[in-house]
Amino acid sequence: MEFFAWCMIAAGFGMAIGSFGTGLGQGLAIKSACEGVARNPGASGKILTTMMIGLAMIESLAIYVFVVAMIILFANPFTEEVIKLLAK
């Protein structure tokens, strides 16, 4: 299989794994926040603030995975070397 096809497969798997992990993390965070508010409604402001900060941190992981996938697809530093090897 060609190098660029493998790059697309790697980027696709990376996005799938990264999205799966961040989805689980966000779901668990929201579940825990809802349970916390249900137990102590008076602390809902602090719980909401902490949850939003946590969700932003979790979402940054998905953005990092996306950036790495785009680098693999469009700015791959090994592209020239692979083309030279294939030309021989």
pLDDT score, position 30: 93
Could you read off the pLDDT of 1-53 as tens digits, one per residue?
Answer: 687 788 888 888 989 998 999 999 999 999 999 999 999 999 999 999 999 99
**Within a 13 Å sphere around the CA of 82, how many CA atoms are in the beta-carbon half?**
11
- For 44-83, give one letter per residue: b (16+ CB within 10 A) or e: eeebeeebeebbeebeeebeebeeebeebeeeeeeeeeee
Where in the chain are the domains?
3-87
Longest dimension (CA), the chain: 71
What integer pLDDT is reported at residue 24 of this predicted model? 93
- Looking at CATH, the fold of the domain delimited by 3-87 is given as F1FO ATP Synthase (1.20.20)
